[in-house]
């Protein structure tokens, strides 16, 4: 590894950490400016001035906000996310299972969606402007344009109700056999795939087409390479940076944007967990989940950046 | 086709289709008469309880914030699961009578102030211990303690002392209450070992199913408890499972796809579509739940009884029942009691009368618009219902301005705070409970701010009255008072609409709560 890359990567990571800190301040501040404080939210209807004062004392709400922020941050850094107000359970423990479920679903959706999108993109370039290209683009755009819940319900209608191939509700639990688990997530994974497919496919197509205009591609063609080899060996490696970017963005979406799909398929993931606690004004949980989502988003973006840097030949081979 | 045959043969078994019709329909489906006959006899055999299998319910009303502590139960999933793993002191039968469970006998002193519960022998907790009078007493003590935050606290506060001696628990009340046994049927009062004082959410009860899985907001499961004291009446399936499905469409498709055997809260607007599905049976029945528009009697302009009367007359109840509930309900009459309560008596039905409404509106002297707050969460169809109200009132010359509030925070910011809004009530098991919860001057949830010392006195007098005829008359007078002077506009009582899939046997309609008062999983069985 040469020094400019190491330096650039270190810069990105440091920037990411700074950004994450800034986000944590925003999340904390956001939950502070909501009307009413945690004590009021806990006591609700039965709040009296004395019980409010007692509970504030107990929860340390009398301390200035910045002190509480650093206490919270310290807890988060040591893996202590606090306890949920509404159920009194440890947040870290209850999030673990949920996060794992969300990652499991996102992983399998990505395993299907990313290669499929890239291959479809390559095929679309190969037969650009022909009917194959138009068909692929048309279908992918259509599936993305429909709202997720519509796609979800259509899948349920055909695969769960009419043909009864896959279950329409995707309740998964600990100790569920792998095969059953895969069957349970088939429909939500398919819905997610359809939702993210077009973005990645179109980006692949556009990035490669852009490169295809270059002189060296023409040279490669003139050398007599087959169309697919030109794309695979010469165009694709040079178009990889924007493709990685869009793939990472979509991966992030698979993790943090699946609330609707989780609700439709009754999948016990992070989205559903967040929604339940937002309606209960359970601030500690909302803060924790917000921070986790932000971490996922920022990390994936850093990875995209780094991958783009590493994939850039001009940076890999400095003069 | 076989689905349809199954369905038809079950209809015969339940007496909904004649044998001759069945054979005719079966022939039309291309089935030989002898095969059809054999199908029929197997369906008839299956009409008694069948042991075995896994019975699954897909229910709305579960959150990841749910706890197994019975004191904290509020929504449908913990309620229905609680009836599977918990045993009650006393329960209401589907006919509205008291059914003794852990209490073998309940007796009271003549003044209804001292009550004695005799505890049944041979009821066992899931941890192997026998249920004792001490456990029952401790349970009641815990729910009477402010710290438990129990949903039953409101009634339990009326108990002064709780004493266990031998096989008896003696309760002394602060004030006489003839309804005490009914109050003890509150679904929060699941008897726990030592009252759950050691670990409130341990999930150990004496019900027909032991808890095997408990993932709040996802699923809850139980297996049959071998030593259940009434194994012939409840606990037919080997396992039961509650899957939380808050999305209405997902719930319906899960029933259709056969992943669950029963669901709750079918939306009235899709009932007619679901009815047509083979194998699916809609289970709708009247209950005490009602949809309301509530006015604060102590806030201008609603502090004027003429204005309140004008608004009550300006609502078209029949249209609303027809359009909002599609007929799955009954007309309301501006007091919160209907035939599902004991000691109910009819009062003349209030009708839509724009002319009379106009007269009272003029007399009230109010000018300008009346602001009604509404939201989708107030009750299903509340926004549409508010618009219907707006239109019917306009014909009486009353201008209602609608303000649509966000569902999030509606119960904190609007209900019980703003002077005029849409809302709902689930109802209670006795008239006294309903009036004490929402119509006593001192009640926290007096959401119509109906503060009348004379009414309070009537509530207390009726509570202590053991003579049923006198009591019925007292409740009649109270109902008339709420109807004519209160702040409640009650256009309709809703029905519970559950649905069961193929092969579910043993369903009995219960007017007290949805899903056979929560007992559907414990009392139904899967036909072979």
Q: Which domains does chain A have, with CATH numbers?
A: 99-280 (1.10.3720.10)
Q: Where are the alpha helices (DSSP H) in B247-346?
A: 248-256, 268-275, 305-313, 317-324
- Whether residue A72 is predicted with pLDDT greater than 50 in this model: the reply is yes
Q: Which range has the worst mean pLDDT, B19-28, B54-63, B188-197, B295-304?
A: B19-28
pLDDT, average across residues A72-92: 81
pLDDT band at residue B16 under the 50/70/90 scheme: low
pLDDT tens, position by position, B278-334: 889 999 988 899 999 999 999 989 999 999 999 999 999 999 999 999 999 999 999
Predicted local confidence at residue B359, as pLDDT:
95
Residues 251-290 of B with CB under 8 A from A: 253-254, 256-260
- Whether residue B38 is predicted with pLDDT greater than 60 in this model: the reply is no
ipTM of predicted assembly, 2 dp: 0.71
State how far residue A179 is from chain B, nearest Cα, in angstroms. 17
pLDDT band at residue A272 under the 50/70/90 scheme: confident
Distance CA A159, CA A171 (A): 16
Considering only alpha carbons, which residue of chain A is nearest residue B242?
A171
- Whether residue A104 is predicted with pLDDT greater than 70 in this model: the reply is yes
Q: Which residues of A touch B213 (CB under 8 A)?
A: 173
Predicted local confidence at residue B22, as pLDDT:
53
State how far residue A152 is from chain B, nearest Cα, in angstroms. 10
Q: Which carries the bigger pLDDT value, residue B74 or residue B198?
A: B198
Interface test with B, best of A171, A175, A269, A274 (most B CBs within 10 A): A171
Distance CA A303, CA A309 (A): 10
CB contact under 8 A, A277 and B64: yes
pLDDT band at residue A316 under the 50/70/90 scheme: low
CB contact under 8 A, A169 and B58: yes
pLDDT, average across residues B389-408: 91
pLDDT tens, position by position, B427-440: 888 899 899 889 99
Q: Decide if A112 touches B, using CB distance below 8 A.
A: no
Predicted local confidence at residue B431, as pLDDT:
92
Q: Which residues of A touch B60 (CB under 8 A)?
A: none
Beta-bridge mates of residue B330: B493
Distance CA B425, CA B434 (A): 10
pLDDT, average across residues B255-276: 90
Cα dist. B409→A279, A281, B457 in Å?
8, 9, 35
Predicted local confidence at residue B156, as pLDDT:
86
pLDDT, average across residues A282-305: 88
Residues 6+ apart with CB under 8 A from A136: A120, A123, A124, A201
Q: Are B281 and B499 in contact (CB under 8 A)?
A: yes
Predicted local confidence at residue B135, as pLDDT:
96
State how far residue B149 is from chain A, nearest Cα, in angstroms. 10
Across chain B, mean pLDDT equals: 88
CB contact under 8 A, A169 and B256: no
pLDDT, average across residues A238-251: 87
pLDDT, average across residues B14-36: 53
Q: Compute φ and ψ for A200, nearest 5 degrees.
A: -70, -40
Q: Across the interface, which of B67, B213, B258 has its CB nearest the CB of A87?
A: B67
Predicted local confidence at residue B325, as pLDDT:
92
CB contact under 8 A, A266 and B67: no
Q: Decide if B214 touches A, using CB distance below 8 A.
A: no
Predicted local confidence at residue B19, as pLDDT:
52
Q: Across the interface, which of A88, A98, A167 has its CB nearest the CB of B257?
A: A167
Rounded to 5, what percent of chain A is helix, strand, coil? 80, 0, 20
State how far residue A264 is from chain B, nearest Cα, in angstroms. 6
Distance CA B207, CA B191 (A): 9
Q: Which residues of B touch A168 (CB under 8 A)?
A: 250, 253-254, 256-257, 259
pLDDT, average across residues B196-208: 94
Q: Decide if B369 touches A, using CB distance below 8 A.
A: no
- Whether residue A22 is predicted with pLDDT greater than 90 in this model: the reply is yes
A58: tokens are: 């107990």
Q: Decide if A160 touches B, using CB distance below 8 A.
A: yes
Percent of chain B with pLDDT over 70: 91
Q: Decide if B63 touches A, using CB distance below 8 A.
A: yes
Radius of gyration (C-alpha) of chain B in whole angstroms: 25
pLDDT band at residue B45 under the 50/70/90 scheme: very low
Predicted local confidence at residue B287, as pLDDT:
87
pLDDT tens, position by position, B98-146: 899 999 999 999 888 999 999 999 999 999 999 999 999 999 999 998 8
Q: How many CB pairs under 8 A join A and B?
A: 81
Q: Decide if B54 touches A, using CB distance below 8 A.
A: no
Q: Compute φ and ψ for B172, nearest 5 degrees.
A: -110, 125
Q: Decide if A277 touches B, using CB distance below 8 A.
A: yes
Q: Decide if A51 touches B, using CB distance below 8 A.
A: no
CB contact under 8 A, B244 and A277: no
Predicted local confidence at residue B238, as pLDDT:
96
- Whether residue B12 is predicted with pLDDT greater than 60 in this model: the reply is no
pLDDT band at residue A45 under the 50/70/90 scheme: very low
How many CA atoms does the CB half-sphere of A258 hold within 13 Å?
A: 36
Q: Decide if A278 touches B, using CB distance below 8 A.
A: yes
Q: Across the interface, which of A86, A266, A278 has its CB nearest the CB of B245?
A: A266
Q: Across the interface, which of A87, A98, A156 has its CB nearest the CB of B65?
A: A87
State how far residue B186 is from chain A, nearest Cα, in angstroms. 21
- Whether residue B55 is predicted with pLDDT greater than 90 in this model: the reply is yes
CB contact under 8 A, A167 and B63: no
Q: Which range has the worst mean pLDDT, A36-45, A130-139, B30-39, B183-192?
A: B30-39
Q: Which residues of B touch A158 (CB under 8 A)?
A: none
CB contact under 8 A, B219 and A173: yes
Interface test with A, best of B214, B220, B250, B417 (most A CBs within 10 A): B250
- Whether residue B10 is predicted with pLDDT greater than 60 in this model: the reply is no
Predicted local confidence at residue B235, as pLDDT:
94
pLDDT, average across residues B418-426: 92
User: CA B27 from chain center: how many Å?
Assistant: 43
CB contact under 8 A, A164 and B254: no
Across chain A, mean pLDDT equals: 84
Predicted local confidence at residue B31, as pLDDT:
53
pLDDT band at residue B276 under the 50/70/90 scheme: confident
Q: Decide if B48 touches A, using CB distance below 8 A.
A: no
Q: Which range has the worst mean pLDDT, A29-33, A193-197, B85-89?
A: A29-33
Percent of chain A with pLDDT over 90: 22
- Whether residue A191 is predicted with pLDDT greater than 60 in this model: the reply is yes
Secondary structure E strands in B233-357? 239-244, 262-263, 281-295, 329-331
pLDDT band at residue B44 under the 50/70/90 scheme: very low
CB contact under 8 A, A278 and B65: no
Interface test with A, best of B65, B151, B244, B417 (most A CBs within 10 A): B65
CB contact under 8 A, A277 and B245: no
pLDDT, average across residues A170-191: 88
DSSP B158-186: TEEEEEEETTEEEEEESS--TTHHHHTT-
* Long-range contact set of residues B435-444: C-beta below 8 Å, sequence gap at least 24: B435/B336, B435/B459, B435/B478, B436/B154, B436/B155, B436/B463, B437/B154, B438/B336, B439/B336, B439/B482, B439/B486, B444/A45, B444/B154
- Whether residue A317 is predicted with pLDDT greater than 70 in this model: the reply is no
- Whether residue B63 is predicted with pLDDT greater than 70 in this model: the reply is yes
Predicted local confidence at residue B399, as pLDDT:
94
Q: Decide if B58 touches A, using CB distance below 8 A.
A: yes
CB contact under 8 A, A171 and B256: no
Predicted local confidence at residue B11, as pLDDT:
55
């Amino acid at each position: 590894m040469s020094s400019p890359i190491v330096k650039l990567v270190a810069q990105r990571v440091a920037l990411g950490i700074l950004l994450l800190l800034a986000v944590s301040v925003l999340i904390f501040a956001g939950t502070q400016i909501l009307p009413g404080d945690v004590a009021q939210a806990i006591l609700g209807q039965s709040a009296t001035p004395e019980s409010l004062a007692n509970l504030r004392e107990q929860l340390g709400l009398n301390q200035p906000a910045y002190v509480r922020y650093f206490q919270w941050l310290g807890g988060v850094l040591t893996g202590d996310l606090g306890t949920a107000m509404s159920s009194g359970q440890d947040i870290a423990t209850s999030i673990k299972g949920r996060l794992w479920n969300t990652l499991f679903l996102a992983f399998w959706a990505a395993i299907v969606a990313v290669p499929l999108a890239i291959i479809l993109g390559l095929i679309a370039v190969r037969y650009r402007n022909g009917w194959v290209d138009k068909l692929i683009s048309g279908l992918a755009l259509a599936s993305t344009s429909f709202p997720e819940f519509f796609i979800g319900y259509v899948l349920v209608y055909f695969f769960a109700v009419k043909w009864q191939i896959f279950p329409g509700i995707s309740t998964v639990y600990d100790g569920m056999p792998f095969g059953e688990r895969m069957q349970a997530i088939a429909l939500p994974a398919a819905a997610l795939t359809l939702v993210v497919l077009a973005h990645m496919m179109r980006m692949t197509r556009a990035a490669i087409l852009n490169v295809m205009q270059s002189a060296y591609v023409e040279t490669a063609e003139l050398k007599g390479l087959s169309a697919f080899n030109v794309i695979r060996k010469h165009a694709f490696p040079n178009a990889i940076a924007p493709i990685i970017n869009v793939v990472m963005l979509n991966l992030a979406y698979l993790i943090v944007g699946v609330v609707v799909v989780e609700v439709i398929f009754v999948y016990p993931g992070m989205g559903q967990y967040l929604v339940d606690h937002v309606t209960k004004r359970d601030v500690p949980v909302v803060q924790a989940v917000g921070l986790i989502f932000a971490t996922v988003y920022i990390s994936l973006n850093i990875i995209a950046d780094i991958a783009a840097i590493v994939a850039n030949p001009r940076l890999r081979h400095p003069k | 086709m076989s689905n349809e045959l199954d369905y038809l043969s079950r209809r015969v078994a339940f007496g909904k289709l004649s044998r001759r019709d069945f054979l005719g329909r079966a022939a039309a489906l291309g089935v030989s008469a002898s095969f059809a006959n054999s199908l029929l006899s197997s369906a008839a055999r299956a009409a008694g309880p069948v042991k075995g299998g896994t019975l699954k319910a897909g229910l709305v009303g579960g959150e990841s914030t749910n706890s197994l502590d019975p004191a904290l139960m509020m929504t449908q999933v913990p309620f229905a699961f609680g009836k599977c793993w918990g045993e009650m002191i006393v329960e209401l039968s589907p006919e509205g009578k008291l059914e003794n469970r852990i209490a073998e006998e309940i007796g009271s002193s003549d003044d209804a102030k001292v009550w004695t519960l005799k505890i049944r022998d041979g009821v066992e907790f899931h941890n192997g211990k026998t249920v004792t009078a001490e456990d029952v007493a401790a349970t009641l003590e815990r729910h009477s303690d402010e710290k438990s935050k129990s949903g039953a606290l409101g009634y339990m506060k009326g108990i002064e002392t709780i004493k266990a001696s031998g096989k008896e628990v003696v309760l002394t009340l602060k004030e006489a209450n003839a309804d005490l046994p009914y109050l003890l049927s509150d679904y929060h009062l699941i008897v726990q070992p030592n009252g759950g004082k050691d670990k409130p959410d341990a999930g150990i009860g004496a019900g027909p199913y032991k808890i095997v899985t408990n993932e709040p907001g996802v699923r809850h499961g139980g297996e049959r408890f071998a030593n259940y004291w009434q194994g012939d009446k409840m606990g037919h399936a080997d396992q039961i499972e509650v899957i939380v499905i808050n999305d209405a469409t997902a719930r319906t498709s899960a029933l259709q796809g056969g992943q669950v055997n029963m669901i709750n809260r079918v939306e009235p607007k899709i009932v007619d579509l679901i009815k047509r599905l083979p194998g699916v049976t809609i289970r709708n029945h009247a209950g005490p739940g009602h949809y309301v528009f509530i006015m604060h009697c102590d806030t201008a302009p609603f502090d004027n009884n003429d204005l309140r009367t004008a608004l009550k007359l300006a609502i078209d109840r029949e249209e609303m029942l027809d359009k909002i509930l599609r007929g799955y309900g009954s007309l309301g009459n501006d007091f919160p009691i209907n035939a599902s309560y004991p000691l109910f008596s009819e009062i003349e039905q209030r009708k839509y009368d724009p002319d009379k409404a106009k007269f009272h509106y003029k007399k009230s002297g109010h000018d300008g618009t009346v602001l009604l707050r509404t939201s989708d969460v107030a009750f299903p169809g509340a926004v549409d219902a508010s618009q219907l109200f707006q239109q019917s009132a306009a014909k009486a010359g009353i201008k209602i301005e609608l303000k649509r509030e966000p569902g999030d925070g509606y119960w904190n910011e609007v209900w019980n705070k703003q002077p005029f809004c849409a809302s709902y009530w689930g109802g209670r098991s006795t008239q006294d409970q309903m009036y004490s919860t929402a119509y006593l001057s001192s009640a926290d949830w007096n959401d119509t701010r109906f503060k009348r010392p004379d009414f309070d006195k009537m509530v207390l007098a009726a509570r202590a009255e053991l003579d049923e005829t006198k009591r019925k008359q007292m409740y009649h007078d109270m109902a008339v008072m709420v109807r004519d002077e209160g702040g409640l506009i009650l256009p309709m009582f809703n029905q519970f609409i559950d649905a069961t899939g193929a092969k579910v046997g043993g369903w009995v309609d219960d007017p007290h709560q949805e899903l056979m008062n929560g007992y559907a999983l414990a009392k139904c069985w899967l036909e072979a």
